Protein backbone atom coordinates (compact mmCIF):
# COMPACT_ATOMS: atom_id res chain seq x y z
CA UNK A 1 0.00 0.00 0.00
CA UNK A 2 1.22 3.47 -0.84
CA UNK A 3 1.87 5.81 2.08
CA UNK A 4 -0.61 8.62 2.54
CA UNK A 5 1.01 11.97 1.93
CA UNK A 6 -0.09 15.47 2.78
CA UNK A 7 1.08 18.48 0.86
CA UNK A 8 0.89 21.68 2.89
CA UNK A 9 -0.17 24.66 0.83
CA UNK A 10 0.72 28.27 1.72
CA UNK A 11 -2.84 29.23 2.69
CA UNK A 12 -3.20 26.26 5.05
CA UNK A 13 -4.84 24.11 2.37
CA UNK A 14 -3.88 20.45 2.79
CA UNK A 15 -3.95 17.93 -0.04
CA UNK A 16 -4.24 14.26 0.87
CA UNK A 17 -2.85 11.77 -1.63
CA UNK A 18 -2.28 8.04 -1.42
CA UNK A 19 -5.56 7.15 0.33
CA UNK A 20 -7.17 6.08 -2.98
CA UNK A 21 -9.91 8.68 -2.64
CA UNK A 22 -11.62 10.29 -5.56
CA UNK A 23 -10.69 13.94 -6.12
CA UNK A 24 -13.24 16.59 -7.04
CA UNK A 25 -11.08 19.31 -8.60
CA UNK A 26 -12.08 22.84 -9.55
CA UNK A 27 -9.71 24.92 -11.63
CA UNK A 28 -10.47 28.50 -12.69
CA UNK A 29 -9.15 30.59 -15.54
CA UNK A 30 -6.95 33.57 -14.66
CA UNK A 31 -9.09 36.29 -13.04
CA UNK A 32 -12.11 34.06 -13.86
CA UNK A 33 -11.98 35.31 -17.44
CA UNK A 34 -13.91 33.19 -19.99
CA UNK A 35 -10.93 31.75 -21.84
CA UNK A 36 -12.94 28.56 -22.48
CA UNK A 37 -15.88 30.48 -23.92
CA UNK A 38 -15.77 28.93 -27.39
CA UNK A 39 -16.70 25.38 -28.28
CA UNK A 40 -13.34 25.05 -30.02
CA UNK A 41 -11.45 25.96 -26.82
CA UNK A 42 -13.54 23.55 -24.72
CA UNK A 43 -13.00 20.77 -27.29
CA UNK A 44 -9.24 21.39 -27.19
CA UNK A 45 -9.25 21.25 -23.38
CA UNK A 46 -11.08 17.90 -23.47
CA UNK A 47 -8.62 16.53 -26.02
CA UNK A 48 -5.73 17.48 -23.73
CA UNK A 49 -7.55 15.98 -20.72
CA UNK A 50 -7.92 12.65 -22.55
CA UNK A 51 -4.23 12.66 -23.55
CA UNK A 52 -3.27 13.41 -19.94
CA UNK A 53 -5.62 10.68 -18.65
CA UNK A 54 -3.92 8.10 -20.85
CA UNK A 55 -0.39 9.23 -20.02
CA UNK A 56 -0.86 9.35 -16.23
CA UNK A 57 -3.35 6.45 -16.10
CA UNK A 58 -6.24 7.75 -14.02
CA UNK A 59 -10.00 7.33 -14.27
CA UNK A 60 -12.16 10.33 -15.07
CA UNK A 61 -15.38 9.77 -13.14
CA UNK A 62 -16.92 13.02 -14.38
CA UNK A 63 -16.21 16.44 -15.82
CA UNK A 64 -17.75 19.69 -16.96
CA UNK A 65 -16.01 22.48 -18.85
CA UNK A 66 -17.49 25.92 -18.24
CA UNK A 67 -16.42 29.19 -19.93
CA UNK A 68 -14.19 30.27 -17.03
CA UNK A 69 -13.60 27.10 -14.97
CA UNK A 70 -13.62 23.33 -15.05
CA UNK A 71 -14.73 20.65 -12.60
CA UNK A 72 -12.99 17.28 -12.79
CA UNK A 73 -13.81 14.20 -10.78
CA UNK A 74 -10.95 11.71 -10.94
CA UNK A 75 -9.08 8.91 -9.26
CA UNK A 76 -5.50 9.21 -8.15
CA UNK A 77 -3.23 8.53 -11.12
CA UNK A 78 -0.97 5.50 -11.38
CA UNK A 79 1.82 7.87 -12.41
CA UNK A 80 2.43 10.91 -10.22
CA UNK A 81 -0.34 12.46 -8.11
CA UNK A 82 -3.31 14.76 -8.78
CA UNK A 83 -1.08 17.86 -8.46
CA UNK A 84 1.20 16.51 -11.22
CA UNK A 85 -1.84 15.79 -13.40
CA UNK A 86 -3.22 19.30 -12.88
CA UNK A 87 0.15 20.91 -13.56
CA UNK A 88 0.51 19.05 -16.87
CA UNK A 89 -3.11 19.64 -17.86
CA UNK A 90 -2.94 23.37 -17.11
CA UNK A 91 0.44 23.87 -18.84
CA UNK A 92 -0.58 21.99 -21.99
CA UNK A 93 -3.92 23.81 -22.18
CA UNK A 94 -2.26 27.20 -21.77
CA UNK A 95 0.30 26.40 -24.48
CA UNK A 96 -2.44 25.26 -26.84
CA UNK A 97 -4.92 28.08 -26.25
CA UNK A 98 -2.91 31.20 -25.42
CA UNK A 99 -1.95 33.35 -28.39
CA UNK A 100 1.62 32.95 -29.55
CA UNK A 101 3.97 35.73 -28.48
CA UNK A 102 5.14 37.83 -31.37
CA UNK A 103 8.77 38.83 -31.66
CA UNK A 104 9.46 42.50 -31.23
CA UNK A 105 10.67 45.14 -28.85
CA UNK A 106 9.03 44.46 -25.44
CA UNK A 107 9.02 48.12 -24.32
CA UNK A 108 7.34 49.11 -27.59
CA UNK A 109 4.65 46.41 -27.14
CA UNK A 110 3.93 47.74 -23.65
CA UNK A 111 3.82 51.33 -24.87
CA UNK A 112 1.27 50.57 -27.57
CA UNK A 113 -0.80 48.09 -25.53
CA UNK A 114 0.24 45.07 -27.57
CA UNK A 115 1.16 42.97 -24.54
CA UNK A 116 0.22 39.32 -25.09
CA UNK A 117 -1.80 37.61 -22.35
CA UNK A 118 0.51 35.37 -20.31
CA UNK A 119 -1.64 33.65 -17.68
CA UNK A 120 -4.41 31.26 -18.63
CA UNK A 121 -5.16 29.59 -15.28
CA UNK A 122 -5.23 30.75 -11.69
CA UNK A 123 -2.13 29.56 -9.89
CA UNK A 124 -3.72 26.81 -7.82
CA UNK A 125 -6.74 24.50 -7.89
CA UNK A 126 -9.32 23.39 -5.36
CA UNK A 127 -9.23 19.68 -4.48
CA UNK A 128 -11.91 17.97 -2.40
CA UNK A 129 -11.36 14.32 -1.39
CA UNK A 130 -14.48 12.19 -1.87
CA UNK A 131 -14.76 8.81 -0.18
CA UNK A 132 -18.49 8.08 0.16
CA UNK A 133 -21.03 7.01 -2.47
CA UNK A 134 -23.40 9.74 -1.32
CA UNK A 135 -20.76 12.44 -1.88
CA UNK A 136 -19.85 10.95 -5.31
CA UNK A 137 -23.44 11.32 -6.49
CA UNK A 138 -23.69 14.82 -4.97
CA UNK A 139 -20.55 16.03 -6.78
CA UNK A 140 -21.58 14.49 -10.11
CA UNK A 141 -25.02 16.09 -9.88
CA UNK A 142 -23.52 19.44 -8.94
CA UNK A 143 -21.10 19.48 -11.88
CA UNK A 144 -23.67 18.25 -14.41
CA UNK A 145 -26.24 20.84 -13.32
CA UNK A 146 -23.72 23.69 -13.44
CA UNK A 147 -24.42 24.71 -17.09
CA UNK A 148 -28.18 24.77 -16.39
CA UNK A 149 -27.73 26.81 -13.21
CA UNK A 150 -25.62 29.31 -15.16
CA UNK A 151 -28.17 29.56 -18.00
CA UNK A 152 -25.86 28.02 -20.62
CA UNK A 153 -28.25 25.14 -21.34
CA UNK A 154 -31.86 24.28 -20.55
CA UNK A 155 -31.00 20.75 -19.44
CA UNK A 156 -27.72 18.96 -18.59
CA UNK A 157 -27.78 16.79 -21.73
CA UNK A 158 -27.70 19.91 -23.94
CA UNK A 159 -24.22 20.89 -22.67
CA UNK A 160 -21.90 18.66 -24.66
CA UNK A 161 -18.78 19.55 -22.64
CA UNK A 162 -19.67 17.36 -19.68
CA UNK A 163 -19.86 13.69 -18.82
CA UNK A 164 -23.64 13.83 -18.30
CA UNK A 165 -24.56 12.25 -21.67
CA UNK A 166 -22.34 9.29 -20.80
CA UNK A 167 -24.27 8.70 -17.58
CA UNK A 168 -27.71 9.33 -19.07
CA UNK A 169 -27.35 7.63 -22.46
CA UNK A 170 -24.12 5.67 -22.33
CA UNK A 171 -22.84 7.97 -25.08
CA UNK A 172 -19.03 8.15 -25.35
CA UNK A 173 -17.49 11.60 -25.43
CA UNK A 174 -14.08 13.14 -26.02
CA UNK A 175 -12.89 11.80 -22.65
CA UNK A 176 -13.21 8.17 -21.60
CA UNK A 177 -15.37 8.17 -18.46
CA UNK A 178 -15.82 5.76 -15.56
CA UNK A 179 -13.74 2.89 -16.95
CA UNK A 180 -11.83 0.90 -14.34
CA UNK A 181 -13.74 2.29 -11.39
CA UNK A 182 -16.89 1.21 -9.59
CA UNK A 183 -19.36 2.17 -12.25
CA UNK A 184 -21.99 4.76 -11.45
CA UNK A 185 -25.16 5.01 -13.51
CA UNK A 186 -27.96 7.56 -13.65
CA UNK A 187 -29.84 5.80 -16.44
CA UNK A 188 -33.53 5.93 -15.69
CA UNK A 189 -33.00 8.58 -12.99
CA UNK A 190 -32.65 12.34 -13.16
CA UNK A 191 -29.15 13.40 -12.24
Which of the residues in the chain have pLDDT under 50?
Answer: 1-10, 114, 188-191
What are the Cα distances from residue 152, in Å, to 47, 62, 97, 170, 175? 21, 19, 22, 22, 21
How high is the pLDDT of residue 1?
A: 43
pLDDT digits over 52-77, tens only? 999 999 999 999 999 999 999 999 99
How high is the pLDDT of residue 189?
A: 46
The topology under which CATH files domain 5-169 is: Alpha-Beta Plaits (3.30.70)
How high is the pLDDT of residue 190?
A: 45
d(CA 183, CA 169): 14
d(CA 94, CA 99): 9
**Residues facing 64 on adjacent strands:** 71, 162
- The sign of the dihedral angle between the CA atoms of 55, 163, 90, 14 is negative
Phi, psi for residue 69 in degrees, rounded to 5: -160, 165
The residue among 24, 89, 15 whose CA lies nearest residue 62 is 24
How high is the pLDDT of residue 178?
A: 83
d(CA 64, CA 42): 10
d(CA 125, CA 148): 23
How high is the pLDDT of residue 10?
A: 47
Domain residue limits, the chain: 5-169
Q: What is the pTM of this model?
A: 0.81
Amino acid sequence: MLPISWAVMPSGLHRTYGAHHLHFVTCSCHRRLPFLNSGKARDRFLSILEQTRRRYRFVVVGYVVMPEHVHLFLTEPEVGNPSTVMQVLKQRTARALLPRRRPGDPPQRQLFGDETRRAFWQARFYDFNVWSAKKRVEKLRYMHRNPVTRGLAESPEQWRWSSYRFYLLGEPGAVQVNVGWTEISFRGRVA
